[in-house]
Amino acid sequence: MLLKSRHIYNDMAKILKIQTGTVDVVVTQEFDDEDTAMAGTEVNKTDVKIAEFKVENIKWKKGEIKNE
């Protein structure tokens, strides 16, 4: 009689916390001149600051964040 053994590994699974909500941001862009600023093209520098983040929903799941 042949017995099959079953190994159970208790690896620590990664847990993802996924938060969705609304964000208030301030976006500052730097242009060379007024014409490119009015057209919104050729941005030299962009700075984004998060003023407020309001969480509306939280989900939990097992997994890992994949590098894309």
Residue-wise pLDDT for 10-52, tens only, equals 556 788 999 999 999 999 999 999 998 999 888 999 999 999 9
Distance (Å) of CA 18 to CA 36, 48, 59: 38, 22, 5
Task: Indicate the domain borders of the chain.
Answer: 20-57
Q: Could you tell me the pTM of the whole model? A: 0.51
Decide: 34 and 13 in contact? Cβ < 8 Å. no
